[in-house]
Amino acid sequence: MSQEDWNGRWDDIDMFLDRSGPFAQEQFEAGDEVKSFLHDDCKILVIGAGGLGCELLKDLALSGFKDIHVIDMDTIDISNLNRQFLFRQADVGKPKAEVAAKFVMERVPGCIVTPYFGKIQDKDEEYYSQFSIIICGLDSVEARRWINATVVNMYDPERPETLKPIVDGGTEGFKGQARVILPRITACYECSLDMQTKPTTFPMCTIANAPRLPEHCIEWASIIQWPNHFPGQKVDGDSPEHIKWLFDMATDRAKQFGITGVTYSLTQGVVKNIIPAIASTNAIVAAACANEAFKLATNCVGNLDNYMLYVGDQGIYTYTFELQRKEECPVCGSATMVIHDQDRTATLQEFIDSLTEISSVQLKKPSLRTSSKSLFMQSPPALREATLGNLDKILAELLLDGDVIYVTDTALPISLQITVYFKNE
């Protein structure tokens, strides 16, 4: 027992670890060994130190995890203080990861929190392989896709120690989710991309001619009026002057049509596509994620299999279900695709556009090559310039029937293989 572990400190946790129970896993062995692993050997990584991350760090530290690492690339903004409770007014402008780590260590004796102020992409597989469990409290789909692909790609079935469970949490207003991802065993994050909430859009005819909502008036000011008054200049959602101008324009528009509800904060939210953050949602989802981490670390109870949905806007409702793996998933599946009946007269640009529209892949800026040549490369600049001319060429000039195209993308640290067969003429 360490100096910080005074008598009775972990009595509540030890109730689950000193004896077995009807829901314990076969691997569970009650006693000092599992308690020692939890407190001394289990190394946890928390990605994100925002609304969800602050709750996660607190929950994990109070659950007996003593070796916690946290990554976050953001600094503290004054707007964070209403819900990210590890921060204070004096912390504004400082790195979230560093401030959160310091706060937790001061409040929970014996817990060591190691911060990293930077991007998850700064770290390699060797870094991520040191952790027992990785917990994501991210607000970015791109970041989730990257860490998911990296961790899944690390797993070698012949080396069980390379299996790194991911506990992923997400919130959106009064709704949230927690899930457990076991690489190549359960569905990974990429398998569920088609479940993502689509951004709210409004018909242009409604915005221009028949607004009914305050959001219609704000979009009218942003999409129609701003370009007319400031051609060539983009709206800066963080500029008080820009938001004030749009707010004034939207307010006048709303008065003309008898619409109420246009506010400065709503204007900024529409322009920046901000989804309100609810502190209680963060607390509930973080508690669920920390609970899953505890179960994975100790095996005292079976872990979530594998998706929990929380809805709190009309009462309190949770629903759990097993999300199925997709065999065609480019990350945990075969990472191969076959395209039949491809039009040989389509240009390479048209082919790339068709790839970005495939919901199961969701590529952003793909680079394409065959085993013998580069078709189009996004970077470096010299290679992009050299392959730019291929975009206007038809596929028949660049490919043979049955050629395999290797696709890479900034969103994924893996390669996708696509076999292309031309349409018979």
pLDDT attached to residue 408: 82
404-409/412-422 β-pairing: antiparallel
Q: What is the mean pLDDT of the chain?
A: 89
Q: Which residues are catalytic?
A: 205
CA–CA dist 298, 210 (Å, integer)? 59
pLDDT at 313 over 90: no
**Domain 336-422, classified CATH 3.30.530.20, yes or no:** no
Q: Helix H segments across 121-263? A: 125-128, 141-154, 204-209, 214-219, 226-229, 240-256
What is the band of 2 on the pLDDT scale with cuts at 50, 70, 90? low
Predicted pLDDT at 258: 93
- Helix (H), strand (E) at residue 36: helix 32-36
Q: Which amino acid is at 103?
A: F
What is the distance between the alpha carbons of residues 208 and 229, in angstroms, rounded to a whole number?
A: 16
Beta strand 307-311 with 317-321 is antiparallel
Using DSSP bridges, classify how beta strands 67-72 and 43-47 pair: parallel, antiparallel or unpaired: parallel
Nearest to 73 by CA among 126, 115, 133, 130: 115
**Max Cα–Cα distance, the chain, nearest Å:** 81
Q: On the CB side of 119, how many CA atoms lie within 13 Å of its CA?
A: 7
pLDDT of residue 108 exceeding 90, the answer is: yes
- What count of residues does the chain have? 425
pLDDT at residue 182, rounded to an integer: 95
For residue range 214-229, what is the model confidence (pLDDT) as tens digits? Answer: 999 999 999 999 999 9
Supply angle C-alpha 349, 354, 357, rounded to 5: 130
Q: Convert the pLDDT of each residue in 34-76 to its tens digit.
A: 999 999 999 999 999 999 999 999 999 999 999 999 999 999 9
Query: DSSP character for 196?
Result: S
Q: Roughly what angle, to the nearest 10 degrees, separates helices 264-272 and 240-256?
A: 110
Q: Which CATH class is domain 204-272?
A: mainly alpha
- Which pLDDT value is given to residue 360? 60
In this structure, which amino acid lies at residue 231?
Answer: P
To which H or E segment does residue 351 belong? helix 348-356
Taking the domains of the chain in order of start, what are their residue ranges?
Answer: 11-197+277-321, 204-272, 336-422
Sequence-ordered strand ranges (E) for 203-329:
307-311, 317-321
- Taking 90 as the threshold, does the pLDDT of residue 401 lie above it? no
pLDDT of residue 141: 83
CA 29: distance to chain centroid?
34
Cis bond upstream, residue 306 (ω within 30): yes
* Cβ(375)–Cβ(363) below 8 Å: no
Give the residue from 223, 224, 152, 155 showing the smallest Cα distance to 188.
152
CATH number listed for the domain at residues 11-197+277-321: 3.40.50.720
Q: What percent of the chain has pLDDT over 70?
A: 95
Mean pLDDT over 112-131 rounds to 94
| Residue 332: pLDDT over 80 | yes
Which of the 8 DSSP states describes residue 222? Answer: I
One-letter amino acid of 394: I
Residue 198 has pLDDT above 80, yes or no: no
Contacts within 8 Å (CB) and 24+ apart, 304-308: 304/178, 304/179, 304/180, 305/180, 305/186, 306/179, 306/180, 306/181, 306/182, 306/186, 306/187, 307/177, 307/178, 307/179, 307/187, 307/192, 308/177, 308/178, 308/179
CA distances from 368 to 146, 233, 383 (A): 19, 33, 12
Structure tokens at 47: 């990605």
